[in-house]
Amino acid sequence: MQRLSPQGRKVIGAAGLLAGVGAGCALVWGGYEVPADLLAPTLVLEVAVGWSFVTVGLVAWTRRPDSRTGALMVVLGFAWFARFAVAVAVRPAFVIGVLLSSVYLSVLVHLLATFPGGRVQNRAERVVVTVGYLLSAPLDAVFLLLGAQRGLGEGPPPGGLVIAARSGAFTPSGVDLAVQAVVVALFLSLLAIVFTRWRTAGPAQRRSLTPGVLGGAVIVGTILVERTAILLLIPPSVGVVFAWSAQVVLVVWPVALLLGLLRSQLDRSAVGRLIVELGAGLPVPERLRSVLARTLHDPTLELAYWLPERRAFVDASGVPVAVEANGGRGLTRLERDGEPIAVLVHDPVLSAEPELVAAVAAGAGMAVQNERLHAEVRSQLREVRASRARIVEAADGARRRVERDLHDGAQQRLVTVALALRLARTQLGSASRAEIGALLDEAGAELAGALEELRELARGIYPVLLTDAGLGPALTSLAERSPVPAVVGDVPARRWPDAVERTCYFVVSEALANAAKHAGAGQVVIDVRADGGGLCVQVADDGRGGAEAAGSGLRGLADRVAALGGELSVHSPRGGGTRVIATVPCG
């Protein structure tokens, strides 16, 4: 809502003061007879209720313009005073008073159903608020007709129906009882909505709701008792006590609503304590989260730190976390010099108090930034440990593959050669020279095959061509053997450190293997260029994309590249092919 100007506050305040004075005068001298023992307390309580709502509503409207609660409180206060026109023994005033006699109940329903934001948020609230306003006109019309039948001035007085029943001026009829039954049903529905919202709210939101909900529950309860007293025709003196109890609560309740609305302003001292506590020494990770949670009164608060190099959020231990505003949770991003450093995942009620969150963020900014750096170090340490473990696993896996390849390939061929030679030896005396020659030829072929397999195996372990001729010829040979057509661009002719050349070679080898096995690519382009003091290798295919950078093969490459201080990135949008880029320093 628009912020209320100082001139507007003065005008509304003066109007509220005059409305209260006018209501009191109407009750005392308007012509409606109130029992002498009820006049003074009725006058004081009725006027105090209206002034309380107008005054506190103005404060709430000024301090929290983002909430409609303050404006609703002001409207309720004026609607409360408007009822007093029914006490004036002049037909136009009486008619106006009767037509407005139930408006305050409608506004009360709206206020309580939508506290603290003042805005309808779900279907149940919308139904109750709408029914509350729609019932206002029929209720007032019924009272107006009954008043016309009974005589001028015999409508529902501002002091309450039970008080009127005691004075003898108002005896409930069947229509009156039906009307009160509808009101009772409406307020029972309102109670159900209010308690459901309070029960399902988070700790911070519940703390803000509690003052309004408790006071509202007492008010609604006493109204229900008053109306039920009429329905059951119990002694009016019982209802009088509850009616006055409701009005006493109505005088104090706006202040409770204001306390709930201004909780952030009242928590400025907590922000001060936060600054003092953090100034005494930077807290350990979990304690920093606990301090922030205590300051914001949200024990469910979570703190995640942004790591720009990884483009991801991590917790205080450096473990990656997914940060999403789901499950009704709120998100507040903390920045430093325009760059994100962390994010708070909190109760959604704190989203309505940006000033409080901003104050806490400013007070804890240095501690959060320091802890972000620690989280970054912990994340890097975790990654190094995980990388070492993966390198060990990869080495073990490579040894197992070599063992399997030797067993299934060259070893089997050598066994076949041994069997052929043994058979030839046993047949030396009986077989012809041609038969012996065939056996020896078979053994020779198996030996040649075993030799070729051993060469291929050795080339996979450590390509001899890479050592002898350099990266360019080795990549050209690799592309020629690739199942997918591959094109190698110009490769710098100079030699690079062995570790750099091997790493770049295996990056291309793995990327070609992935393009053939998973990408369904029709062509692969290999580009190698000098990048400052290192090499940048890019392998791009035209396949289906969607490659996972965390896959075992690519993850192993990333570990190999990272071991040399380099960086591996994978760009693989679905349907857009895959680009694997490795940058390896040579220093």
3-state secondary structure 2-54: CCCCHHHHHHHHHHHHHHHHHHHHHHHHCECCCCHHHHHHHHHHHHHHHHHHH
Pairing of strands 312-314, 320-321: antiparallel
567 bridge partner residues: 583
- Give yes or no for a contact between 471 and 528, defined as CB atoms under 8 angstroms apart: yes
Element (H, E) at 527: strand 524-531
Enumerate helices (H) and strands (E) in the chain, giving the number of each.
21, 10
Collect all residues with Cβ–Cβ distance below 8 Å to 402 and sequence separation of at least 6. 457, 461
For residue 222, what are its two tokens?
């006493």
C-alpha distances (whole Å) from 148 to each of 95, 105, 143, 152, 154 are 10, 23, 9, 6, 8
Question: pLDDT over 70 for what percent of the chain?
Answer: 61
Question: Distance between CA 581 and CA 572 in Å, rounded?
Answer: 11
Whole-prediction pTM: 0.49
Q: Which residue has the tokens 């890097």?
A: 380
Lowest-confidence pick of 34-38, 183-187, 562-566: 34-38
Q: CATH second-level architecture of 469-585? A: 2-Layer Sandwich (3.30)
Lowest mean pLDDT among 235-249, 363-377, 469-483, 532-546: 235-249
Q: Is the pLDDT of residue 238 over 70?
A: no
Measured between its terminal Cα atoms, the distance across the chain in Å is 61
525 falls in which pLDDT band (50, 70, 90)? very high
Q: How many alpha carbons lie under 13 Å from residue 388 in its C-beta half-sphere?
A: 5
**Who contacts 344 (Cβ-Cβ below 8 Å, separation ≥6)?**
292, 301, 302, 303, 331, 332, 333, 334, 357, 361
Please give the Cα distance from 514 to 557 (Å, whole number): 12
Confidence of residue 323 (pLDDT cuts 50, 70, 90): confident
Structure tokens at 493: 């002719």
- Interatomic CA distance for residues 37 and 259, integer angstroms: 35
pLDDT in tens, 67-110: 787 788 888 888 888 877 776 666 676 666 666 777 888 888 88
Distance from C-alpha of 196 to C-alpha of 202, rounded to nearest angstrom: 12
φ/ψ of residue 343, rounded to 5: -140, 140
CB atoms near residue 479 (< 10 Å): 18
Cβ neighbors of 502 (< 8 A, separation 6 or more) are 462, 466
Tell me: cis bond preceding 116? Omega within 30 of 0 counts.
Answer: yes
Phi-psi region of 223 (alpha: psi -120 to 50; beta: other; left: phi over 0): alpha
Q: What is the pLDDT of residue 310?
A: 72
| Lowest mean pLDDT segment, chosen from 89-93, 169-173, 388-392 | 169-173
Residue 533 DSSP SS3: coil
User: What pLDDT is stored for residue 179 in this prediction?
Assistant: 65
Rounded Cα gap, residues 68 and 116, in angstroms: 8
Give the pLDDT mean for 197-219.
Answer: 70
| Residue 166 pLDDT grade (very low, low, confident, very high; cuts 50, 70, 90) | very low
Backbone dihedral region for residue 565 (phi beyond 0: left; psi -120 to 50: alpha; all else: beta): left
Residues β-bridged to residue 568: 582
Distance CA(332)–CA(368), nearest Å, equals 13
Confidence category of residue 318, pLDDT binned at 50, 70, 90: confident
Minimal CA–CA distance to 252: which of 55, 41, 37? Answer: 55
List the structure tokens of 185.
């049903």
290 to each of 284, 301, 316, 325, 330, how far by Cα in Å?
10, 8, 12, 21, 18
Residue showing tokens 């043994």: 422
- Give the SS3 label for residue 228: helix
Q: Which two tokens stand for residue 373?
A: 């750096």
> Is the pLDDT higher at 435 or at 159?
435
For 247-306, what is the HEC assignment?
HHHHHHHHHHHHHHHCHHHHCHHHHHHHHHHHHCCCCCHHHHHHHHHHHCCCCCCEEEEE
Q: Which of 300-304, 373-377, 522-526, 548-552 has the lowest mean pLDDT?
A: 548-552
